[in-house]
Structure 1
Amino acid sequence: MIFMFIVTCSLNEEYKELTSVGKVWITTSQVDFAVSDLERGLDLTIFHGTISLTMHSQKHLKFEKFLQSMKSFRTLDNGFFKDFWEHAFECVFSSFAVKSPKCTGKERLESLPGPVFEMSMTGHSYGIYNAVYAVAHALHTMYSSQSNDQSVLGGRNTEFHDAQPWQLHQFLQGISFNNSAGETISLDENREMGGGFDILNMVSFPNNSIIRIKVGRVDPKAPEGKEVTLQEDLLVWSKVFNQTLPVSRCRDSCHPSYMKRKKEGEKFCCYECVPCPEGKISIQKDMDDCSSCPEDQYPSQDQDHCIPKMIQFLSYEEPMGICLASVAVSFSLITVLILRIFIKFKNTPIVKASNQDVTYTLLISLLLCFLCAFLFLGRPRKVTCFFRQFAFGITFSVSVSCVLAKTINVVLAFMANKPGSSMRKWMGKRLTNSTVISCSIIQMCICTVWLGTTPPFPDLDTKSMATEVIAECNEGSVVMFYIVLAYMGLLSSISFSVAFFARKLPDSFNEAKFITFSMLMFCSVWLCFVPTYLSTKGKYMVAVEIFSILASGAALLCCIFFPKCYIIVLRPEMNRREQVITKKH
């Protein structure tokens, strides 16, 4: 301390002008402002505004209470405390004191000025305090491990040997505990705490007392960019400063939406104002750099503030949602009507010839296809996201499997009519039902694996669009989603191929013709779906999938069942056994 005082005095020829030296001391953690007897008379106001880095410490109320409880009679048996007490209070315990007053025993440590003795726990004391606790925890861990080893070896009651310092090294590495000051202390692999430093600001008073105010922290473990924090409003500078930041002599302040950029080759205080880059803002004057908005906000047109993004999803209230929902309801009602017609006329030749069980299954699956479109409308929820692709994949697989079973049934019916054909044994419900069940189970297994491993979940996409947040269902696994589509495409291709080759079979009511056209439209819709789906975003992506579901379902419904309904309802004279079995010329 006295060395620093001499150096400061040498900065000016006259001591009386020291207050106008205009220097700010910045000291390291090794410099302490505790004064001795010879230094008590020094004018500490010259250190007013000093910035010092000290070892990190935490306020500990029990430590202060302990110091407050210390009295002189406790120090008589300890030579160090006895000497400290006499120097700190400038008194002696000896009854033969002549020059110095005798210690009365009523002295209190809190009455000492800050430069002589601080009541709060300093960084050095805090480090020692944590070190003692770290050794205690390491000893406890070491003895616990030895106790466990003894219990494993048969529980022999042997005394512990005195621990050697080097034996604690492995137990100190990576140790972590909470001290009584409420802070978590951890040691790294080198047995170092690495607690960082506190930034203190020293304020002096006319009575030559000083206090140190914590104004910041240096924490190497903090997130990137937050290693150094400083509370500028708490800083107290030397009296020779005007307490304001220096003003550039080259130009006026930079307005919001602009940032400062230093001019090359000119004075350090000279800068120019440049607009913020696209996508960034500055909300204050003289910003050194522009900042980005949070993910759920976007920059204003003037780039001086952030605007919250609107959440986008395909709702029932908007025209597109109303239109798709209306189409889904309409086709659902038409499907129910057709199913009612087929049930009412179940004893007619056309209904019997089309395999009633497969026909009913196909109509019910198409009804569920139209209804599953509603799982895609509205804001994505956990339940709707979980079931929408599962319902879509299963219902369409059942529908296409029914179409494939009907196509195979047409081919087998023609081949079984040939004399001596062995195909008659394959005719019947067993083959068609087996086709529907087996093809559907494969898709169900794929969907089950998908939902069991990486199920879809509601998510918010904040990056795809600049001014909106997309509320969507994250598919969980894009690969599984395309496997479901690929399997459905495989079934469609097989069904289309079989129906195409059977389209010219000589029959007055050859169902394969209508299946061929329906599967052609079905495959065309889903071939167009993939590139369109990948090129759209947000609610339009959902709208594309709903449209594909409705269009492909409508293709199957219209092409397969409308001709039959026309004959059943409007041309009943064609719905006779003679007409159904008559061959073409």
Structure 2
Amino acid sequence: MRMRLKARLYWCIWHLVIFYFIPPSYGNDIPCNLSLSELSVILEPGDILIGVLLPFHIDKTFLKISFTETPPTVSCTRFLLETYQQFQAMRFALDEINKSPTLLPNVTLGFYVYDSCANLRKEQEGTLWMLTGMNKTVPNYCCQEWPRLAAVLGHSVSTYSILMAHILGLYRYPQISHYSTSSSLSDRSQFPSFFRTVPSDAFQSRGLAHLLLYFGWTWVGLVGMGSDYGEQGVYLITQELIKAGACVAFTGFILSNREDKNVPYLTRIIKESTARVIVVFAPDIYFAALLDELLKQNLTGKIFVASEAWSISSMLSAEKYSSALTGAIGFAFSSSPLPGLRGFLNKVRPSNTPGQTITKIFWENIFKCKFMDQGNLTGTWIDSTKLCTGKEDLEMVESSYNDVSNLRSSYSIYTSIQILARSLHNLFSCWNGKETLSGGTCVDAKNFKPWQLTHYIQNAHVKLSNGREVSFDINGDLPAVYDIVNWQLRADGTMKQVKVGSYDTADTNGNIFSINISAVMWAPGDHQVPSSVCSKSCPPGFRRAVIRGQPICCFQCVPCPYGEISNKSGSNECSKCPWNMWPNVDKDRCVPKATDFLSFEEPLGTTLTAATITSSLVPLSVLGLYYCYRSTPIVRANNYSLSCTLLVSLTLCFLCSLSFIGCPQQLKCFLRQVAFGMVFTLCVSCILAKTIMVVLAFMATKPGSSLKKWTGPRVSYIIVSICNILQLCLCICWLSLFPPFPEYNTDTQPEIIIIVCNEGSTIAFWCMLGYLGLLATISFIVAFLARHLPESFNEARFITFSMLSFLTVWISFIPASLSTRGQYIVAMEVFAILSSSWALLVCMFLPKCFIIVFRPNLNSREHLIRRARN
């Protein structure tokens, strides 16, 4: 293996040595010579020459190649008036420069212009011919010492420019393209001397993606030319669309090397696709073949988005394409006027213009005539053919040639010439203190090298006629500026490309993308922006759910989950409402949550309020009754003062339930349980004191009892005070350490805010309630044990029933409170307060009131003594 590699290395070195030492005079005998086909060359002499490759013809006849003989000459068939305008715009720029006393004084610029016919073979021939400087091209040799070839302008097809750039880059010959947009050409490692005065497709792809997303077109088809231009354009815009969340429905390519150009396949996938918008990266001549097939199959209703390659095509503006292209929109190179150009164009004559052959072809095309001496320039001669004189007036003709309203490619080639001239001027002015090379040295103007001019082009700054200053960036690109054009139908059936916006990456105000949507006209039948989506946008209240195996743009709409909303169309996700809000029925907005508390206005709250107020009047009525009959035996026998205290406390018990009704607030939450605990402690402690006093009074009646001194009213007050002080201490500790506060509960029912009072400390609350239960239990036990005392002095049975009722109510409240939420737990506590209060009131005072009111005869001392004796 090592010997084989060494042999190959020697073989390569030997061939290089032989090639180096063979003089160019033997060029005709070198087998690798390239023999050129017939050249279409226009020469304008000058001190320095500029090589230009222009495709005056865009179409060609395909001939079969046998590979056994020299390939036949390429036959060009379709002449382009637009290219001839570019040629004259180049002459116009050179005429300005050669006449300028300040720019390149005493130096005349000339040119080679070669008709490449948009053919790869002729493109290579023309490039090598310009480098060699002779009819026979010899690689690696230049046989023309003067005038020097300064730079090469071209080509208009990215693939051919890439081929040129590979060749010219070997010698660092500067190449400036006015139409090649492939992003690959920005790679300085591969193309070190390539420049262009049109934006890279990388900018156009971002702009087109921005345009598609602006109109909401997320489901689009892509058709490209099967070349570097089309393939890279499709790739770049695909990446931009995917990055933005849009999808590509299909991708297809027009193949120029096939006779049918792949049109049947493209027509089929366009017909089957649901995508209504199609982006086309292809020159007009190739796109026309696809349009012809679409129209043949009556396939309309699509919206075409144009790349700069066909966005202002005069060929596609014909009436026959109006049904397919009306409403199309796309990017075009920025246009700018060139004062004086139209007059220059209209002065052209076959007799006064370089390149008579090309000019006569142009003349025959624009005036639809033929020259007598060259009747076969553009077709066969027949008797009815109009004769060309060469003196026809171009002012009388309106065509794409002398239409200077939207100069784009012509302005681009004009810019190329201006930049090249400024670079040469800087190079020749080096000795006068102007810009130098990187080493600080100057260049001999008569012997400058190609790479030296490349340096000056890279650093050139030129102010154009529209006031815009341009310079190349490190990749040889100018700032990207596009016009957004809309294809609108004229009254005569043809179409006009109307500027409706712009895309300017160099805009200093940050307004890169702008469009006047009111100026855009869509196809007939579309009164608003057409839609092109795989799935219709989900309405508010729904979110997108991706369908398995489908692109992300194809989805189904599912309702937002419980508690979430989507307030705009096409939402990917639903969002939760704030804690105090809840989705409406349609789940498209959040509304304030309903609040839940025991309100005075609600029927339950109103009922309990009425019951509370009415109930509080009953013990006051009893108190009034007791006051009126305070001197009667039945009132005096049951400790009148303690009974009055009990009645007042019962009134407070009824009224304290009002603090549980209404919206919980800080002060209300702070006091209501404490108020409830204190008034009920007072009430139960009074009953406990009465119970104890009944027992003590009976025991003191026994002979020799020492308990008589404990039967005074002071003892009952001491009992009541001690019981209340203990409860008060507990409440003070509770309020000091863990004070209650309002709480907004959204966990129990997420759609409702339950406003409750958080007790602060559950232990403290149950301790307070437990203390009440303890007092009630002691009263119950004492009263139960004293139930057999003489009836005339005995309230024990009434106290027993009252405490039994009290305990039953509150013991039932405990499990009920653990299983109830919201206003109902508050209603239950109010009901327990009212029930237990009524139980105490009825059991303690109803029998006595009955006797006082309805049986006054029983309310006498004699009756009581009689009952005691019995």
TM-score (norm 1): 0.60
Alignment partner of 1:477 is 2:812: no
Q: Deviations over 1:450-503 (max 9, x none)?
A: 222222233333333344333332322233222211111111111111111111
Give the drift of 1:351: 1.9
Note if contact 2:544-2:555 (Cα within 8 Å) is conserved in structure 1. yes
Secondary structure of the residue that 2:821 maps to in structure 1? coil
TM-aligned CA deviation for residue 556 of structure 1: 0.7
CA distance in 2, matches of 1:572, 1:473: 49
Following superposition, the deviation at residue 547 of structure 1 comes to 1.1
CA contact (8 A) 2:678 2:724 kept: yes
SS of the residue corresponding to residue 583 of structure 1 reads helix
**In structure 1, what is the equivalent of residue 629 of structure 2?**
345
Asked if 1:99 corresponds to 2:434, the answer is yes
Q: Closer, same or farther in 2 for the Cα pair 1:277/1:100, shift >3 Å?
A: closer
Separation of aligned partners in 1, 2:648 and 2:793: 23
1:78-157 equivalent positions in 2, closer than 5 A: 98-99=433-434
Residue pair 1:204, 1:210 contacting (<8 A) in 2 also: no
Aligned to 1:301: 585
Measured in 2, the distance between the counterparts of 1:115 and 1:389 equals 83
Given candidates 237, 261, 266, the residue that maps to 2:545 is: 261
User: How far is the alpha carbon of 1:584 from its aligned partner?
Assistant: 6.5
C-alpha contact 2:739 2:760 (8 A) present in aligned 1: yes
Alignment of 1:417-436 (within 5 A): 417-436=701-720
Q: Does 1:490 align with 2:745?
A: no
* Deviation for aligned residue 1:400: 0.4
> Could you say which residue in structure 2 is the equivalent of 1:527?
811
2:544 partner SS: strand
- Map 1:264-413 to 2 at 5 A: 264-413=548-697
SS of the residue corresponding to residue 508 of structure 1 reads helix
> In the alignment, is residue 583 of structure 1 matched against residue 864 of structure 2?
no
Q: 1:212 Cα deviation (Å)?
A: 8.8
Given the superposition, is the C-alpha separation of residues 562 and 114 from structure 1 closer, same or farther in structure 2, using an over 3 Å criterion?
farther
Cα shift at 1:20: 6.0
Q: CA deviation at 1:434?
A: 1.5
**SS in structure 1 at match of 2:536:** coil
Q: Distance in 2 between matches of 1:307 and 1:397?
A: 45
Residue equivalent to 1:54: none
Segment drifting more, 541-550 vs 455-464: 455-464
Is the partner of 1:259 in helix, strand or coil? strand
TM-score under structure 2 length normalisation: 0.41
Cα separation, partners in 2 of 1:301 and 1:548, compared to 1, 3 Å:
same
Q: Which amino acid aligns with 1:468?
A: I
1:152-185 CA distance string (max 9 Å, x none): xxxxxxxxxxxxxxxxxxxxxxxxxxxxxxxxxx
C-alpha spacing 1:115/1:543, structure 2 compared with 1 (3 Å): farther
Check if 1:515 corresponds to 2:816: no
1:456 aligns with 2:731: no
| Cα pair distance change 1:334/1:209, threshold 3 Å | closer
Deviates more, 1:394-403 or 1:527-536: 527-536
Q: Report the CA distance between 1:340 and its aligned residue.
A: 1.3
Contact 1:329 1:370 in 2 (8 A): yes
**Separation (CA, whole Å) in 1 of partners of 2:803 and 2:638:** 17
| CA drift at 1:554 | 1.0
Rounded to whole Å, the distance in 2 between the matches of 1:507 and 1:492 is 22
Q: Greater CA radius of gyration, 1 or 2?
A: 2
My pick for the range that moved more, 528-537 or 518-527, is 528-537
Alignment correspondent of 1:415: 699
Cα root mean square deviation, aligned: 4.1
Give secondary structure in 2 for the equivalent of 1:307. Answer: strand
1:390: Cα distance to partner?
A: 1.4
Paired residue secondary structure (1:303): coil
Query: Residue 395 and residue 252 in structure 1: after superposition, are their counterparts in 2 closer, same or farther (change >3 A)?
Result: same
> Is contact 1:115–1:210 with CA below 8 Å preserved after alignment?
no
Matched residue type, 1:433: Y
Gap regions ≥5 residues in structure 2 = 1-157, 166-176, 187-192, 211-430, 437-468, 473-478, 483-503, 515-528
Structure-2 change in CA distance of 1:507 and 1:23 (3 Å): farther
Point out where structure 1 has 5 or more consecutive residues left out of the alignment. Answer: 1-8, 25-37, 52-95, 102-112, 117-202, 214-233, 238-243
How many Å separate the matches in 1 of 2:813 and 2:824?
12
Q: Deviations over 1:69-127 (max 9, x none)?
A: xxxxxxxxxxxxxxxxxxxxxxxxxxx983269xxxxxxxxxxx9999xxxxxxxxxxx
Q: Report if the CA contact (8 A) 2:179-2:198 is conserved.
A: no
Quick one: structure 1 residues 460 and 18, their matched pair in 2 at CA, closer, same or farther if it must change by over 3 Å?
farther
| Counterpart selection for 1:438 from 722, 727, 740 | 722
Aligned partners of 1:500 and 1:513 also within 8 Å: yes
Q: Distance in 1 between matches of 2:609 and 2:616?
A: 11
